[in-house]
Structure 1
Amino acid sequence: MPAGRPSEPARRGLGPSNPWAGVATRRPRSTHDEGGPTPERSDADQRAGHHTEVNGADLRRRIHAGEVLFGAWAGLGSPAAAELLGRSGLGWVVVDLEHGAGTEAELVAQLTAIEVTGTAALVRPQSGERLRIGRALDLGAAGVVVPRLDTVEQVRETVTFLRYPPVGIRGVALLTRGGRLGSVKHAGVAALNDDIVGIVQIESPSALEAADEIAAVDGVDVLFVGPADLSHSLGVPGQFDSSSYQDALGKVVAACRAHGKAAGILLYDPASFAPHLDLGYTFVGLGADNSFVLDGARAALAAARGK
């Protein structure tokens, strides 16, 4: 789980033990590189105050086109904070139900707050159980970030929870937000299946070992590294400059490139963004609502004290 804050060495970048140090790599161009309004909305929409709902199909298209997509975690359980993240210009926001303060009962409010900004709203459920994933999707998530999957067999089963029959075993309930509140008829279920974004976290040595097989699974769009859990499980807790952790980063990218998937990770310090982009990470979390509040408050206090 990528909830922990990086250690000081990691906050300075990948460090000298990076096996790719000095190797020229081409960073994929981000649609966000030049700044501007929320990327899912045109300038005309911005001026008119309109928004365009971003469904999973659009996000999946951009993922598989190789775009660099920046996002953030929403862990405060606050619709207001979630909306602020959406209005910042990010391409996606993950509502965290595994470690965040919010609950399923409050999820619709957070998803709606993100959606009205034109930003893709994803959910990390409490677990990879069928019920938890189904609830997140029925409540309107464009996709899910599934934690604690360690084997390709678990991933193959979990992918079936994301989609309606006959390709999956998700319960068909088209009057839900995920079913477009009845506006999609049974004949349109296949299109709904195509919209769902599937993201699998890589948090353990066993998941890392199976990364190539996991990336090959249809329905998996992103392999998302959980830095805290992965570093702890590798025996190098918080040592993000260690060779074993950096080797793991490279293995995930290689698996994704081999199968046309995106490599994702959650980072917290701007100094670490460029090195990970250069490694090939294209689905990058830049922090979380709680970290942005804490860092902003600390920066303001330091400035006020003249530090």
Structure 2
Amino acid sequence: MPAPRNHFKAALKAGQPQIGLWLNMGEALMAEIAGHAGFDWLVIDGEHGPNDVRSILAQLQALSASPSEVVVRPPIGETWVIKQMLDIGARTLLVPMVDSAEQAKELVRAVRYPPHGVRGVGAAVARASNFNNIADYAHTAADEICLLVQVETMAAIRDLENIVAVDGVDGVFIGPADLSADMGYLGNADAPEVQEVIEKALGTIVRSGKAAGILTFSESLNRRYLDLGATFVAVGADVTEFAGALANLAGRYGRGKDGKAAGVSY
């Protein structure tokens, strides 16, 4: 029995747009709710969310019945971290802060077993192989693992042509927040100078044949990026959606963010 098919990876290869949501709460119940909302992919965020191996595992378990592909973002692209993420069942990884093709090549090696890589062979006791019930897991895992790398500095932009040429990288994701900060526009990813770099980068990725991805909280920008050929686009995050919905509900009853009724003196 081979490793289960990664339909998200297949969709990216086929050029089918995939709409996603960020999961930053670190809570399995919230992840389970999001898993039935209709998104194509969900990112369990280990870089900026309050997550560790066990909380990521709990969310993977909660999402096991979800039709959404679960993407795990580790806190850093270290081989030992990637090994843990893969063994607990992550099969699509979004690795932050990839600044060079050399880094990307090392990440490819990290997700593959020897002799093609350096992933530790521990599948017999891992959730990834359904605890050794997927007999051919070790031989077929690489076919279904989807590796996405994040380009979010000008150093990465300068090496982008080489990054997209790395065999084994399935997609390249642009991080607007960090990129804009690195360009001197902290908190202003909408700046024309930043958008020019982003649009050129998207063009480079799309022309390479690799999937291009991005996250913003602007619907107009998201639709613009889809029009430019971005394939996997995240359109929001659980934290911001939850906070916004609660603020809207409180506001309908005249309550402001300070917890006081609007127009009432205390």
Q: TM-score, normalised by structure 2?
A: 0.89
Q: Which residue of 1 aligns with 2:32?
A: 83
Unpaired stretches in structure 1, ≥5 consecutive residues: 1-53
Q: Which residue of 1 aligns with 2:174?
A: 225
Q: Which residue of 2 aligns with 1:204?
A: 153
Q: Which residue of 2 aligns with 1:215?
A: 164
| Cα shift readout 1:213-239 (whole Å, capped 9, x = no counterpart) | 111111111111111101000112232
Q: Which residue of 2 aligns with 1:177?
A: 127
Distance in structure 2 (CA, Å) of the matches to 1:100 and 1:241: 24
Distance in structure 2 (CA, Å) of the matches to 1:99 and 1:115: 23
| Alignment pair present for 1:102 and 2:59 | no
| Matching residue's letter, 2:253 | A
- Note the C-alpha offset of 1:254: 1.9
Unpaired stretches in structure 2, ≥5 consecutive residues: 257-266
Deviation >6 Å, runs of 4+: none
| Alignment pair present for 1:70 and 2:4 | no
Cα distance change on mapping 1:67 and 1:140 into 2, 3 Å: same
Q: Which residue of 2 aligns with 1:33?
A: none
Q: Which residue of 2 aligns with 1:236?
A: 185
Distance in structure 2 (CA, Å) of the matches to 1:90 and 1:172: 33
Q: Quick one: which of 162, 168, 171 aligns to 2:111?
A: 162
Distance in structure 1 (CA, Å) of the matches to 2:7 and 2:220: 30
Equivalent pair of 2:171/2:212 in contact (CA under 8 Å): yes
Distance in structure 2 (CA, Å) of the matches to 1:115 and 1:264: 24
Q: Which residue of 2 aligns with 1:45?
A: none
Equivalent pair of 1:264/1:283 in contact (CA under 8 Å): yes
Cα distance change on mapping 1:276 and 1:86 into 2, 3 Å: same
Identity %: 34
Q: Which residue of 2 aligns with 1:51?
A: none
Greater Cα shift, 258-267 or 269-278: 269-278
Distance in structure 1 (CA, Å) of the matches to 2:190 and 2:20: 23
Distance in structure 2 (CA, Å) of the matches to 1:69 and 1:193: 21
Distance in structure 2 (CA, Å) of the matches to 1:297 and 1:246: 31
What is the SS of the residue equivalent to 1:181? coil
What is the SS of the residue equivalent to 1:258? helix
Distance in structure 2 (CA, Å) of the matches to 1:128 and 1:56: 24
Equivalent pair of 2:173/2:213 in contact (CA under 8 Å): yes
